[in-house]
């Protein structure tokens, strides 16, 4: 198949729409179910590149949860502990495969943003992973293959209309890529820059120690940023992104946005949140919304008298600002990547509030000394990669 007609482009009024290989050759995909649209394919192809690179860099199965051409989460297949399995709503599924763990982590990092995601998997989709996908609100999945039973599970989703794409894992795109804007064609070389641990050798802080797991987290953050709309930063911990700030005009706003998401990830693991008692039969999405409100500043303004009874069996105690800060202060050893240099030390100050200890950024700011000094103040280890990772 050399081209595929689509229903419409980004919006229903944008017709005609299709995808085709820019060299005139065969498309490297096969649609096994559903009718993926323009944005679905944008998410699918960007997501596939991300997980393929994560797989290559770490040797572990990888997954990502994409929304509107940026990842909401990305992770590798490390086992889940009891707490993470609970906050990702997979504690009832028994033992999970490494690939299923990767997707549970990618989906669970920011469940609000992952609602209605497009999934990319580095490995053949197994039954364990398909069972997680089956129960989540999602638009589709791309993977290099599917176990027969897994494919049947996915084909039954969304009344038989769930989008399932198989991609040729050996496909290599042309080295030159093109993009049209306002009738003008832009041409550039593909970003084939390889991200691996060698990128973390130029450590510019007094603390030179970046342990193995922290290196993996930094690699995850940098590869995630490579496919995130810029400006962007990514917090990572334990084999997954835990906060991604995408498409902001200033670096500090990226750091704050991603940091707030990392904080929410941590707060969901607090005893107060884990102890919430939900009404029987409430869906996962409604639970996610309720938790997001609960850990907000003024949750009782939203869940007033009577409203909480529709969600909780018992009225939750207020989670005070002081209690939340005390819990967040236990977060440590977080890794932070940035797609461009930090221009001021304020980014480091904000990162410290979310437990960041390891940083990877290109360097090259006229205020690098200030940024390094701030990192040294908190005993952080920071590597200058020398490579910008803008993505538009």
Residue 67 known to be catalytic? yes
> What phi, psi does 296 have (nearest 5°)?
-75, 180
How far apart are the two ends of the chain, measured CA to CA in Å?
28
Q: Which of 40, 52, 67, 357 does the annotation list as catalytic?
A: 67
Question: Which residue in the list 68, 158, 197, 272 is annotated as catalytic?
Answer: 68
Q: What is the DSSP string of 312-339?
A: BSSPPPP--HHHHHHHHTT---EEEEES
Angle between helices 251-267 and 321-328 (to 10 degrees): 100
How does DSSP assign 65-110, residue by residue?
Answer: EEETTEEEEEEE-PPP-HHHHHHTT-TTS-S--HHHHHHHHHHHTT
Q: Is 178 a catalytic residue?
A: no
Query: If you ran DSSP here, which 8-state letter would residue 60 be given?
Result: S
Q: Which of 375, 261, 270 is nearest to 330 (CA)?
A: 270
- The catalytically annotated residue of 46, 231, 264, 347 is 231
Report the alpha-carbon distance of residue 230 to residue 85 in Å, rounded: 31
Residue with tokens 């996915």: 154
Output the CA torsion 377→378→383→385 (10° steps).
-80
Query: Is 315 part of the annotated catalytic residue set?
Result: no
Is-contact 380 207, C-beta < 8 A? yes
Q: Which two tokens stand for residue 289?
A: 């919304």
Q: Which positions are annotated as active-site residues?
A: 67-68, 231, 392
């Amino acid at each position: 198949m050399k081209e595929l007609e689509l229903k419409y482009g980004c919006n229903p009024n944008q017709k005609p729409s299709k995808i085709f290989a820019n060299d005139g050759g065969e498309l490297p995909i096969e649609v096994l179910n559903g009718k993926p649209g323009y944005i679905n394919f944008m998410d699918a192809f960007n997501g596939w590149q991300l997980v393929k690179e994560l797989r290559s860099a770490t040797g572990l199965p990888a997954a990502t949860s994409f929304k509107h051409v940026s990842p909401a989460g990305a992770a590798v297949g490390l086992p889940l502990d009891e707490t993470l399995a609970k906050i990702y709503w997979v504690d009832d599924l028994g033992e999970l495969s490494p690939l299923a763990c990767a997707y549970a982590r990618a989906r669970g990092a920011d469940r609000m943003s992952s609602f209605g995601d497009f999934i990319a998997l580095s490995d053949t989709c197994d039954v364990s992973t398909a069972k997680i996908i089956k129960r989540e609100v999602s638009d589709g999945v791309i993977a290099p293959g599917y176990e027969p039973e897994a494919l049947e599970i996915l084909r039954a989703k969304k009344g038989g209309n769930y989008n399932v794409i198989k991609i040729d894992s050996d496909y290599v795109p042309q080295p030159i890529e093109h993009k049209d804007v306002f009738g003008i064609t832009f041409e550039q070389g593909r970003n084939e820059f390889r991200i691996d641990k060698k990128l973390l050798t130029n450590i510019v802080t007094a603390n030179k120690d970046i342990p193995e797991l922290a290196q993996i987290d930094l690699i995850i953050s940098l590869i995630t940023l490579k496919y995130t709309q810029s400006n962007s930063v990514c917090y990572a911990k334990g084999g997954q992104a835990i906060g991604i700030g995408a498409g902001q005009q200033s670096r500090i706003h990226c750091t704050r946005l991603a940091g707030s998401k990392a904080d929410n990830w941590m707060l969901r693991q607090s005893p107060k949140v884990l102890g919430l008692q939900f009404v029987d039969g409430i869906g996962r999405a409604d639970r996610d919304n309720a938790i997001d409100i609960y850990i907000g500043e003024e949750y009782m303004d939203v869940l007033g008298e009577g409203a909480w009874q529709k969600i909780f069996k018992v009225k939750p105690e207020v989670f005070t600002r002081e209690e939340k800060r005390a819990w967040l202060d236990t977060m440590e050893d977080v890794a932070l990547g940035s797609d461009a240099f930090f221009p001021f030390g304020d980014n480091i100050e904000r990162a410290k509030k979310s437990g960041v200890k390891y940083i990877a950024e290109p360097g090259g700011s006229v205020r690098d000394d200030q940024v390094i000094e701030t990192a040294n103040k908190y005993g952080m280890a920071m590597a200058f990669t020398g490579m910008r990772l803008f993505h538009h």
